[in-house]
Amino acid sequence: MKKTRILLSVVLAAFLVMTIGVPAYGAKTIKIGVIGPMNFMQGKGHWNGAVMAAEEINAQGGIQVGSKKMKIELIKADSNEFLSITDATNAMERAITYDKVDFLVGGFRTEAVLAMQDIAMDYKKIFIGCGAAHPTLCIRVARDYKRYKYFFRGTPFNSMFLVKTCFAHLGFVGKELKTQLNIPKLKVAIVGEKQVWVEPMIGVAKTTIPKLGMELVGVWRPSQTATDVTAELSAVQRSGAHIVFTIFSSSVGITFARQAGELKVPAVMVGINVEAQKDGFWKATQGMGNYAMTMNTYARGVEVNELTKPFIEKYIKLFGEVPTYTADTYSAIAITLKKAIEKAGTLDADKLIPVMETMEVMVPSGRVKYIKDAKGRKLHDLAWGPGYLTSLGVQWQDGELKAVWPNGWQGVTYKGVVPYKIAPWIVEKYKK
């Protein structure tokens, strides 16, 4: 009888521990799939940003989901999307069906993200894109809301806004040249890598450059992996161009900037040069990339808002470099998803979507708001412009990447933005 009472006491105690004594957040984790090309800079940014978000949330006990707190568990999914779209779709399928993720963040190459998007929609999983800029990703939401409503853009803003930003930078630099060097009619050369995504940008540039009061003197298309562009640079010099409008996402960005610096080509560089966004650009160009300018999201010392500096400094402390824009998986998890889940009190995607559609949140790169298209249909695309997301124009100045734009553009100036500099050999050639 005594043994029976002891056994009942043990069972009762175990029952009480299981039902009362276990911390609520220990019952289950929120699984977030981080998908990207993990052997490339873009995927490493995806993962690092997510790790930083998870560590912050878990240190605070987790995300409040209704009456309980749940910690974050990250699942790394290597999409290998630069080399194989099939690998990307397999990684997405595995993350959902085998790892049982609740949400997904990441993706970079548009062709791969379009395919991955369809798989996420098949399983009704919220997928926050953090890399691809093509408008179609969000146009799908507007055209077939019932199917694609689970997709939201996280970063960057879409390529139509990217183009507008590039031309704002071009106008800004043109104004600096006119003011400082008194050049009456600026000449512009377009140099874009031989990739499909460059084609529409060149088309738009051909019509926009004359509208800015500048003369287009030629278009050059080196290979995206070219190791020698002296022929293109010589042609640019012969054209008399004062500005080179660059459109580079690959290693040719290093080659072009290094050789232009070595040859002291008398033309400033502005546009997109993804390689120039990285900390390693200075060393890769052996300092010859000095004065190159490109669009970017972050720069050390520049504060878009009160969240920017803490984010950048902590990221540098953890990973030893300034975050690239794909590291905005941090904002997607630590800010957007966290706030939506806590407000809705659930992980149910269909209940979270209306919350995310109407929320406006401050993130380290600006303010996130989801816009509608011209017909009033929900796009799940990002607002661009003053008060929202603008990105930065950054320039290499003597070994440091400095933000030089926006510097009064539409009334916007961020703390830490510095004056634009023209290379001394260009000043010497043109200043009268």
Does position 22 have pLDDT exceeding 80, yes or no?
A: no
- For the record, the structure tokens of 205 come out as 């540039």
Please report the pLDDT score of residue 231 as a whole number. Answer: 97
Residue 6 has pLDDT above 80, yes or no: no
- Torsion (CA) 338, 344, 348, 354 in degrees, nearest 10: -100
Q: Are 141 and 151 in contact (CB under 8 A)?
A: yes
Lowest-pLDDT range of 26-40, 123-137, 300-314, 406-420? 26-40
Tell me, what's the pLDDT at 312? 97
Q: Are 405 and 392 in contact (CB under 8 A)?
A: yes
| C-beta separation of 276 from 257 below 8 A | yes
Which residue, among 175, 265, 250, 249, has the nearest Cα to 214 in the 3D structure?
175
- Compute the distance between CA of residue 292 and CA of residue 113 in angstroms, rounded to an integer: 30
pLDDT 10s digits, 73-98: 999 999 999 899 999 999 999 999 99
Distances (CA, A) of 297 to 161, 217, 322, 327, 334: 14, 30, 10, 10, 18
3-state secondary structure of 189: strand
Predicted pLDDT at 13: 43
Look at residue 432 in the predicted model and tell me its pLDDT: 67
Gyration radius of the chain's alpha carbons = 25
Structure confidence at residue 274 (pLDDT)? 87
Sign of CA dihedral 220, 160, 242, 184: positive
C-beta of residue 333 within 8 angstroms of C-beta of residue 341 = no
Contact 297, 328 (CB under 8 A): yes
Burial 198-234 (b: 16+ CB within 10 A, else e): beebeeebeebbeeeebebbbebbbebebeebeebbe
Q: Tokens 């139509």 identify what position?
A: 160
pLDDT of amino acid 341: 98
Per-residue pLDDT tens for 318-352?
A: 999 999 999 999 999 999 999 999 999 999 999 99
When the pLDDT of each residue in the chain is averaged and rounded to a whole number, the result is 92
Q: CA–CA separation, 70 vs 128, rounded Å?
A: 20
Q: DSSP string of 254-276?
A: HHHHHHHHHHT-SSEEEEEEGGG
Percentage of residues in the chain having pLDDT higher than 90: 83
- Give dist(CA 377, CA 381) in Å, integer: 11
Q: Which residues pair with residue 244 across a beta bridge? A: 189, 269
pLDDT of residue 8 exceeding 60, the answer is: no
- Say if CB 230 and CB 236 are below 8 A apart: no
| Phi, psi (deg, nearest 5) at residue 97 | -90, -35
CB 348 within 8 A of CB 323: no
Q: What is the pLDDT of residues 185-233, one digit of tens each?
A: 999 999 999 877 788 789 899 999 999 999 999 999 999 889 999 999 9
Nearest partner of 417 among 281, 259, 299, 246, judged by Cα: 299
pLDDT at 224: 85
pLDDT at 250: 83
Average pLDDT of the residues in 252-269: 96
**How high is the pLDDT of residue 229?**
97
Q: Please tell me which residue, 432 or 210, carries the higher pLDDT value.
A: 210
Q: Output the six-digit token pair for 357.
A: 């559609």
Cα of 49 vs its chain's centroid, Å: 11
pLDDT band for position 240 (cuts 50, 70, 90):
very high
Prediction pTM value:
0.86
pLDDT given for residue 82 in this prediction = 84
Coarse DSSP helix, strand, coil percentages of the chain, rounded to the nearest 5 percent? 45, 25, 30
Residue-wise pLDDT for 124-141, tens only, equals 999 999 999 889 999 999
Contact present, 417 and 432 (Cβ < 8 Å)? no
**Quick check: 19 pLDDT over 50?**
no
